[in-house]
Each structure stands twice: as structure tokens, then as C-alpha cells.
Amino acid sequence: MGTAIFMVLMVCGYWYTSRDLSTRFKIKRSFGWDVYFLVALYGCIFVLQGVIATGLIWLFLLACSSLLNIMPELTGGHHHNWQMEFMNWSFLGIQAPVVVMLSFAVAFCLYRSNWSGSARLNSKGRKKLYKELSRSNGVEGILFQCMEEGELAWVTLKSRRIYIGMIHTASYEIENTANIVLIPMLSGYRDGKTLNLCVEHNYSKWYAEHNITLDSEPKSAMAFRKVILLSQIESLSLFDAASASALAFDSDEDEEQPPQ
């Protein structure tokens, strides 16, 4: 019986943490034993809800038995103990209250994972969730600000490659493939001696000369998007275009060929 309870507890916890959107983001930010304890925590919650539901059934049977016992004329003088029969009944060698409790735990888990409002967030709900989760992480906070307010981001890679552009999307769910999708405006590299930004490609100028926008046809700015793994990013900051003239630039862009 103890093994059955433990198995249902862990399975419910795993099912919920892998299906519920907000919990899935939280568990992706956990490491080591924290993951197991988080799964067990949610499993315990569902089992506890099953215990409460089973207790309510026991109280209901007790109330019905008591009501019938105080009116023996309705039952022909028979004494009823439905709550005791419920406690003593067994199914496949397991007591009925345990079976009912585990059934309720599974039902509550399936409801919370698939049919509740939190499991079916709309775009507004997802945006609110991302905003709350990004407060605890500096990188995610900047990325969310860039996506929400349309700010330009300055991304420096470990290879000293630099991209300045708009953050289109960001994905953090799987650690090994966590990435950002950036629509570049400028790209270049940091000079090893002078540390000046050497601009190789001016995407924004190319967009303007060829009437390229985010939704232009047949080619849009999305055709130039860059997918950058978060593991390759050395630093990330906001880029203030108004103060760009105060920076030291070495222009080395190609005027004839489109940026790559």
C-alpha cells in the first residue's frame, strides 16, 4: 500500500510539473535535488487533496448512517454503519479509502494539468507569467524588456562577435538549446587592441535601401534573423541608439553586398 501511494505521488508530481506551463518554467530553473523535491511537493499536494476528498466522503456516509439510525421506521429497525463498511471494504487487497484517495489524487492532477485555467493561458496570461518569472533573472529580465518595449539589445558573444538588434523571441525551456532569436541592425566585433566596435554589416541601412520591414514581401527582416545560444553569450545589455554617436566605431561594412 505504501508503495502504491509513493508511486502515485511521484507520478502525479512529475505529470503536473511537465504539463503545467508556469510550473514547467519553475522546474527548468531548478537543479539537482531541488527538482526531485519540487516534484514530490506537488505530488504531496495532490495526495493531500485526495485525503481531504476521501474524508469528506467518510463524513457524508457517517451523516447518512446517523440520519437513518435516528429514524428506524424508515429502515425496518436495521442499524447502519456505512462509514465503517467503507473503511473495511477492500479492492485488490487495498483498503477502499486508499483506492478512493489515490483516484482523487490522479483526477485532481489531470484536471490541474490539462483543463484548469492555469493550464490554458492565453497570450496575455503568458506575457504576465514571463514578466513575473523574468524578475529573478537578469538576462531574462533584459530580454523580456526588449521584446515588450521594442528596445535594441547589445549582445556580445564569447568569440567577441557583437550583434545589435531587436529580440524577436527567447527560449529557455531546454537548457542545452536555450536561445534567442535576434533581428540584427548592426554586427561586428570588438578590436583586440583598441576595444573599439568594428562594424562589418549595417543591416538597418540595408533594410532602408531595399524597403525591408518585418512584414515586407517577398523578403522581410526575419530572413536575416540570428539564432544565438545563450551559452555563447558573454554579456547582454540595452543599446541606446540616441547615444550611439558617443561610442567609438570603426566602420568596415560592405556597401555593395547584402549583410550575411
User: In the structure, what pLDDT confidence band is assigned to residue 133 with cuts at 50, 70 and 90?
Assistant: low
* Whether the predicted pLDDT of 244 surpasses 60: no
DSSP classification of residue 259: P
* Whether the predicted pLDDT of 254 surpasses 50: no
Enumerate the β-bridge partners of residue 182: 167, 226
* Whether the predicted pLDDT of 2 surpasses 80: no
**Owner of C-alpha cell 566585433:** 189
User: In the structure, what pLDDT confidence band is assigned to residue 223 with cuts at 50, 70 and 90?
Assistant: confident
* Whether the predicted pLDDT of 87 surpasses 80: no
d(CA 9, CA 43): 4
* Whether the predicted pLDDT of 253 surpasses 50: no
d(CA 185, CA 164): 6
Mean pLDDT of the region 52-73: 82
d(CA 35, CA 60): 38
DSSP classification of residue 207: H
124-251 classified as CATH 2.30.30.100: yes
Please report, for the chain, the start and end positions of each structural domain, with discontinuous segments joined by +.
Answer: 2-119, 124-251
* Whether the predicted pLDDT of 165 surpasses 70: yes
d(CA 51, CA 98): 8
> Phi and psi for 158 in degrees, rounded to 5?
-65, -20
User: In the structure, what pLDDT confidence band is assigned to residue 52 with cuts at 50, 70 and 90?
Assistant: very high
Give Cα separations from 48 to 39, 44, 53, 108 (angstroms): 14, 6, 9, 11
Mean pLDDT of the region 117-137: 60
Instruction: Give whichever of 20-29, 182-191, 236-245 has the largest mean pLDDT.
Output: 182-191
pTM of the model: 0.56
- Least confident segment among 172-176, 198-202, 217-221: 172-176
- For 99-112, what is each residue's pLDDT tens digit? 888 888 989 888 88
